[in-house]
Amino acid sequence: MGVSDYFTLTGIISDLLICGIGYSLLFKKDGIKVIYAFIPGIRDYYLAIEAEREEDGKTFFMLDLCRHITAVMAALFKDGSRMETMWNMAGMALLLALFLFGIRIYISLCDVFVQKRIWTLLWILFPGITSLIWGFSPKFVPQHKTAVEYDFEKAAKISETTVEAIQNGLTVNLTGRSVMNMGRRVYLLKDIHLSIPVGHMVLLLGGSGAGKTTFLNAVTGYEKADAQILLHGRDFYNNYESMKYDLGFVPQQDLMRVNDTVRMTLNDMANLRLPTSLSRKEKRERVVQVMDKLGLLSVKSSQVGKLSGGQRKRLSIAQELISDPTLFILDEPDSGLDGVVARNLFVTLRNIADEGKIVIVITHTPDRVIDLFDDVIVLAKDAARVGRLAYYGPIGESYDFFGKKSMEEILLCINQKDEGGEGRADEFVENYSAGLEKITSEEKNE
C-alpha cells in the first residue's frame, strides 16, 4: 500500500464522518466528550473505557500507532526490497494483535450495553456502520456509566461547603486534584475542607489509594490542586517563595549525605534556610538549639551513615526545624523503627506541636501512639474511587462517629469490600459532609 493509497481523501472522509459521528453518539450516552470521537486512535481508547477495558485500550492505541508507522515505512520502501517485506510483515503482525485486542474490547462492549455478542463480528467488520446503529438507536444504552470524568450519580454527594479561614492555623479548601491520563481527566481527590489551629497534632488516616500523599503534596504546593491553602490567613500558593520555609516536610526516605556529620548537615541547612541577615554565630546557636531539642547533641560529631534509624529520623526532623516553620508534615516517620523508639519520636513531635506548631503525620501504626494526637483526618475512596473526606475532628469523637473502638477498625469500615473492608466510605463521607454543611449554615446565620 503506497502513501497515496494510505492517505486517500475517501478514507479520511469515511473515517472522520462515519466513525466519528457513530462514536460521538455512543460517547454522549456514556458522558465522554464527543470531540474524542473524531481523533483516530484516541477514540478507540475511549471505546475501550466504555467497555471497561481501559488497559486493553491503551495497548490497542499503541499497536494502532505502530501499525500506521509500519504502513508509512513500507510505502517509503516500495521497491520490492527486503526492507519493504520486513515492514509489511511487521504490519501484518500488528494487524493480528489489533484483531485479538479488538475482539476482547468488543465482547466487553456488548456486555456493558447488554447486547448479544454476535455484534462483536459486526464491530470488527463494519465499525463505522455499527457505531452509527448503536449511537442512533435508543435501545443501545450502557447499563451503567463507566467513563465520565466524575460520576456524581455513583459516588457520594459533592458538598457546596467551604470552611472559613482561621488566622492562627492552616485552612484547606480543596475542590479537586486531578491528572490527565491518555487525554482523560482522572480525579484523585475531591471536596476536602478543613482548618487546623496551631498547637494541634493531627493523624492523617486512610487506606491504600485514598490519597494521603496526594493530599499532603497539595497542601505543600509540591503538586498544586484546585484549592486554596491558607497558613495564618495567607495564601500559600500565591506566596510560595516567601512562605516555603514556614513549612517543614519530612519524607519517608531521608536524603542526606552519609559521610557528613550531624553538625555539618544542620550547618548546611542553616545556611540554606535562615535569613542572610543572621550572623554565623546566630546560625550556629540555632543549630545547637535544634540539636538539643531533638536529642542530637551527643551524636553531633557522628557521621550520618553511622546513626541509628531513630537518630536519622530525628536528624531529618531537625533539618526542617532549623527555619522554625509553623506547619510540620511527616510521611511515616516511624517506618522501620521499633515500638519504643517510635514512641519516643512521637513524643518529640507532640512537644513540637505544643510549642504552637501544626504537626500532620501519616503512620501505619496509629493506635500505639493515638493518645498523643488531638485530631484525625480520615480520607476514603468513594464509589468512584476518588479520595474524599470521611471525617475530621477530635480523636474521641471519631470513635463515636464511626461506631468503632480503634483507628484500625475505622480503617477497615471505610475500605472497599474488594480490599477486605466493609465498603462504607460513601456513607461516612455523606454523613460528615451533611454535618459540616449544618455547622457552616448555623455559623452564617449567627
Spell out the residues 6+ positions from residue 418 whose beta carbon is closer than 8 angstroms to its own: none
Strand partners, 228: 173
Cβ-in-10-Å burial (0-12, 13-18, 19+) of 298 comes to exposed
The tens digit of pLDDT for each residue in 43-78 reads 888 888 888 888 888 899 899 888 888 888 877 776
Residue 179 is predicted with a pLDDT of 79
Q: Say what the pLDDT of residue 333 is.
A: 86
Q: Where are the domains of the chain?
A: 3-136, 169-445
pLDDT at res. 232: 92
| Residues 363-387 pLDDT 10s | 988 999 999 999 999 999 988 888 9
Residue reference for cell 503482525: 93
Of 8 and 57, more confident:
57
> 189 has which bridge partners?
177, 387
The answer to whether 7 and 14 are in contact (CB under 8 A) is: no
* DSSP calls for 315-373: HHHHHHHTT--SEEEEESTTTT--HHHHHHHHHHHHHHHHTT-EEEEE-S-GGGSGGG-
pLDDT digits (tens, 9 = 90+) for 305-320: 898 888 888 898 899 8
- Cα–Cα distance, 211 to 188 (Å, whole number): 7
What residues have CB less than 8 Å from 38, skipping those under 6 apart?
A: 16, 20, 23, 24
Which amino acid does the sequence have at 87?
W
- Give the residue among 144, 81, 115 at the shortest CA–CA distance from 383: 144
Range scoring the smallest mean pLDDT among 255-259, 392-396, 425-429? 255-259
For the domain spanning 169-445, the CATH number is 3.40.50.300
Q: At 414, list the grid cell.
A: 471505610
pLDDT at 418: 77
DSSP secondary-structure letter at 415?
S
- End-to-end C-alpha distance for the chain, whole angstroms: 76
